[in-house]
C-alpha cells in the first residue's frame, strides 16, 4: 500500500502545445533597440576595408602606441604601489603577528618597532622617487612620441 503525503494535491494538467514562431532572417531588424540611445536600424552593405596607402595602418599604429602607453603606466603604478604598500604591510604584519619582534631593542633604548615606524616616511619618499623615475624613463617618452605623431597627423589632415 502506498501512502500519499499530500492527498489534497491534484495531478498537474498537461501543458498547452508551444505556439509556432516563424523563423526570422539574421538580417532583419531586431524587435527592440539594444540600448535606449541606439541609432535606428538601417541595413547597410558591408564596406570593405581600403587597401594600399589608406589601409588604416596609421590607426593600427596609434592603437599599438596607446596600448604600450597604458602598459607603461600600469607598470609604473604597480611598482610604486608595491614599494610603499609592501613595506607598510610588512610593518603591519609584524605588529599583528609578531609583536615580540617589534619590542626587541636595536640599540640602547630604540625598539625595532619605532625604528620601522620612523623608516616609513623615507620609504614613502623612495616610492615617490621611484614613481618619478619610471615616469621619466618609460611613460613620458612614449607620451611625447604619441603627442608629436598626433600633431603631425592633425596637420596632415588639416592640409587635405
At residue 53, the pLDDT reads: 47
Distance (Å, whole) CA 142 – CA 59:
16
Host domain of residue 76: 68-159
- Does some domain include residue 102? yes
Cβ-in-10-Å burial (0-12, 13-18, 19+) of 80 comes to: buried
What's the structural domain count of the chain? 1
- Does some domain include residue 94? yes
At residue 123, the pLDDT reads: 87
- Does some domain include residue 17? no
Residues of the chain with pLDDT under 70: 1-12, 17-62
At residue 58, the pLDDT reads: 52
Q: Please list, in sequence order, all residues whose beta carbon lies within 8 angstroms of the beta carbon of residue 36, skipping any fewer than 6 positions away.
A: none
- CA 98 to chain centroid, in Å, comes to 36
Q: Are 65 and 141 in contact (CB under 8 A)?
A: no
Distance (Å, whole) CA 19 – CA 65:
54
- Does some domain include residue 119? yes
At residue 52, the pLDDT reads: 47
Amino acid at each position: 500500500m502506498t501512502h500519499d503525503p499530500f492527498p489534497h494535491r491534484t495531478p498537474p494538467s498537461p501543458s498547452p502545445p508551444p505556439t509556432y514562431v516563424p523563423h526570422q532572417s539574421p538580417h532583419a531588424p531586431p524587435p527592440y533597440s539594444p540600448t535606449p540611445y541606439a541609432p535606428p536600424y538601417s541595413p547597410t552593405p558591408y564596406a570593405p576595408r581600403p587597401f594600399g596607402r589608406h589601409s588604416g595602418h596609421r590607426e593600427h599604429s596609434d592603437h599599438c602606441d596607446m596600448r604600450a602607453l597604458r602598459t607603461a603606466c600600469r607598470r609604473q603604478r604597480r611598482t610604486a604601489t608595491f614599494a610603499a604598500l609592501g613595506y607598510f604591510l610588512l610593518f603591519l604584519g609584524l605588529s599583528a603577528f609578531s609583536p615580540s619582534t617589534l619590542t626587541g631593542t636595536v640599540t640602547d633604548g630604540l625598539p625595532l618597532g619605532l625604528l620601522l615606524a620612523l623608516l616609513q616616511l623615507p620609504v614613502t619618499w623612495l616610492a615617490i622617487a621611484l614613481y618619478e623615475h619610471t615616469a621619466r624613463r618609460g611613460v613620458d617618452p612614449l607620451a611625447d612620441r604619441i603627442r608629436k605623431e598626433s600633431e603631425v597627423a592633425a596637420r596632415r589632415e588639416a592640409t587635405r
